[in-house]
Amino acid sequence: MNKPITILFGTRPEAIKVAPVILKLREKNIPVRVIHTGQHAELADEILRTFDIKPDLRLEMMKKSQTPIDLLQRLLKSLPEWISAEHTGVLLVQGDTTTALAGALTAHHQQVPLAHLEAGLRSGDRSQPFPEEANRTLISHLADAHFAPTASARKNLLAENISPESIHITGNSVVDALQMIVKRSGHSVSEIRGKYSAEKKKLILLTTHRRENFGEPLRQIFEAVSELASRYRDLKILFPAHPNPNVQDLLHLLDHQPSIELIKPLNYLEFVPLMAASDLILTDSGGIQEEAPALGTPVLVLRKKTERPELIESGAGKLIGTDKQKIIEATEFYLQTMNHTGPAEIFGDGNTAERVVQILKEMNR
């Protein structure tokens, strides 16, 4: 009997993107072992409940005020007990988190074949995003199989002398997850907009949590959004406020505008329909850059650089940075043009998990 394929994750975005792969492996009765490091304990758990996935092992690595290097040290001490050539056929890691890097390093030293989901994303700047850009680059030079979401990601890997035979363009599994949620959602766009009193208003969804935006960039973002709310009375701006203290400490910049509503972070089953119901999304999230075009919602990216150039090239999004005036100008331009392009298969067609599982099965023979 083949040793199980092990899937390692620890954060909410990882959980969303590995969930379709886990479900597909189980559907095909392929032995799989799921390890949750707890890097994002409660946030990832919500996703697991949504997709009815129970980890085989929980490492509870989350510590208050932990730094990436603290977490990396603890993971490298713990993971070799659970990831070894003796009882791991293939290790799958996703993306660019500290959990993924620790898994890749462990697999290398334990001589376990390594597969990388969402391989090849690059911003070209190790500080944008930090530390993820360096994490994913390092993982690429340890992996045996690279599941690139797009042709552009494949091109990035080839430029780093990664073997062409090891690169597979599979699409991004976030689209698989998104389609599952859309099918389960019983709420119409009009119902969602009505819930937030936005029936006759333009609905803007704001999300921001990136480490590199903490401090002055986040202040500029909030001041821009506040100014927009003051200028345009026909706007409804929803902000699921991230619990990070760096975000919470600046919320006072928004609380004097009646058209800005601060809401609790939503679970994925609630958040996906809200993205679909919105007229525009302002975000510094990586995952939302992939999800929004699949739902047909335009997105303005609150970053200086993006590792997802396909969004910009397609016209489904625009990179605007964190300068207050640029945010205002870009949002005003969109509000005046209201250019909806409709859902687009930029990052996947919903069949990524099927492709990934087939390759994992071949690796584990």
Q: Which of 14, 132, 133, 176 is catalytic?
A: 132
The pair of structure tokens assigned to 255 is 């609380």
- Measured CA to CA, the distance from residue 181 to residue 255 in angstroms comes to 32
Give catalytic status of residue 212 as yes or no: no
- Measured CA to CA, the distance from residue 209 to residue 143 in angstroms comes to 29
Give catalytic status of residue 108 as yes or no: no
Pairing of strands 32-36, 5-9: parallel
∠ CA 37-169-353, nearest 5°, is 50
DSSP line for 248-273: HTTGGGTTT-TTEEEEPPPPHHHHHH
Give catalytic status of residue 118 as yes or no: yes
Q: Which of 108, 242, 261, 323 is catalytic?
A: 242
Question: Structure pTM?
Answer: 0.93
Q: Which of 12, 33, 40, 118 is catalytic?
A: 118
How confident is the model over 332-352, as pLDDT tens digits?
999 888 766 678 899 999 999
Q: Which of 58, 109, 211, 219 is catalytic?
A: 211
Q: Classify residue 208 by its DSSP letter.
A: -
Give me the CATH code for the 5-172+349-363 domain, please: 3.40.50.2000
Q: Do domains 5-172+349-363 and 186-337 have the same CATH topology?
A: yes
Give catalytic status of residue 96 as yes or no: yes
Q: Which of 12, 14, 33, 96 is catalytic?
A: 96
Domain range 186-337, CATH class: alpha beta
CA torsion 253-212-139-92 (nearest 10°) is -10
Q: Which segments in the chain show pLDDT lower than 70?
A: 1, 339-341
Q: What percent of the chain has pLDDT over 90?
A: 81
Give catalytic status of residue 242 as yes or no: yes
Q: Which residues contact 115 (CB under 8 A, 6 or more apart)?
A: 90, 91, 92, 93, 143, 144, 145, 146, 147, 356, 359, 360, 363
Q: Which residues contact 138 (CB under 8 A, 6 or more apart)?
A: 101, 104
Q: Which of 36, 154, 193, 209 is catalytic?
A: 209
Domain boundaries defined on the chain:
5-172+349-363, 186-337
Pairing of strands 280-283, 299-301: parallel
Picking from 209, 223, 273, the residue whose alpha carbon sits closest to that of residue 252 is: 223
pLDDT at residue 340, rounded to an integer? 65
Give catalytic status of residue 209 as yes or no: yes
